[in-house]
Homo-oligomer: A and B are copies of this chain.
Amino acid sequence: MKNDAVPAATAARLPLYVRRLRELARNRVELASSRKLADTTGLEAHQIRKDLSYLGTFGKRGVGYQVDDLLEQLSSYLSLSRVWRVALVGYGRLGSAIACHLTLLGNSYHLSAVFDCSYQKIGSAVEDLEVLSWRQIPLVSRQRGIDMAILATPPLAAQGVADLLVEGGVKLLLNFTAAQIAVPGDCTVRNVDLSAEMQALALQHTARKPLRTREHARAFAGRGAS
């Protein structure tokens, strides 16, 4: 590994590389060229080479990258070998969909607590967990050592929930609600906005006014398009 900084744009693509490499590994593919990775990700080969070069030199010239080796390097960089204890707040449709996704995501993310405010849901079981009241967020977050929380509540509840999570020592929040969340400086919020994705997609074909991009479909598509 090198000692330089990794550009944020590169870091944002690494999860996609991991995903594709896992597929290759599952299919017993041992070797992958940057070209091959480019084809399966919708990116360009030189971009992939450049991205990987920020983390180190993993490939063999004239040959390509050893899939399992590269996978291990990226996993290590993304801290996928450790377990992240995740709390889910809001067990509605979206919340339950995310919980389901989580379990499909490998061993790195462990659903360690589920909170809701509805008395119909509190007490019910999600896998081996019991849905708890939002009132217990600070205490339980601390007890279970929650590392990150997923906000999937109605927008109006989001800030209050975030405050309780912060009180419970949670530093990383993934916000699926429409609300803007304020947190102390040592915490991080990452927003996922479903409606924005929709609008951005729509814009792509409207584009009465040209979008200034290198290649039309590519750069604008955020996290990889084809």
Interface residues of A (CB under 8 A from B): 1, 3-8, 11-12, 14-16, 18-20, 40-42, 77-80, 84, 86, 92-94, 96-98, 100-102, 105, 108-109, 147-148, 171-174, 178, 180-183, 188-206, 209-213, 217, 219-226
Partner of A8, one of B77, B86, B98, B211: B211
Tell whether A190 pairs with B221 under 8 Å between CB atoms, given A105-B195, A205-B172. yes
Considering the complex of A and B, which 6 residue pairs feature the smallest CB-CB distances, nearest first? A5-B212, A15-B196, A93-B97, A94-B97, A8-B220, A15-B199
Verify A194–B101 contact, CB threshold 8 A. Answer: yes
Protomer copies: 2
Minimal Cβ-Cβ distance residue in B for A80: B199
Q: Are B148 and A212 in contact (CB-based, < 8 A)?
A: no
B222 touches A12 (CB 8 A): yes
Instruction: Tell me how far the C-beta of A112 lies from the nearest C-beta in chain B, rounded to whole angstroms.
Output: 14
Our pick among B79, B181, B209 for the contact of A202 (Cβ within 8 Å) is B79
Q: Which of B16, B42, B109, B202 contacts A198 (CB 8 A)?
A: B109
Q: How far is the CA of A86 from the CA of B198 in the complex (A)?
A: 10
Can you name 11 A-B pairs with beta carbons within 8 Å? Answer: A5-B212, A8-B212, A15-B200, A16-B196, A77-B203, A78-B199, A96-B97, A97-B97, A188-B204, A188-B205, A190-B197
Beyond A16-B193, A183-B226, list 18 extra A-B contacts (CB 8 Å).
A6-B209, A11-B203, A15-B196, A15-B200, A18-B199, A19-B193, A79-B202, A79-B203, A97-B97, A98-B194, A108-B202, A180-B224, A188-B201, A189-B221, A189-B226, A190-B204, A192-B192, A192-B194
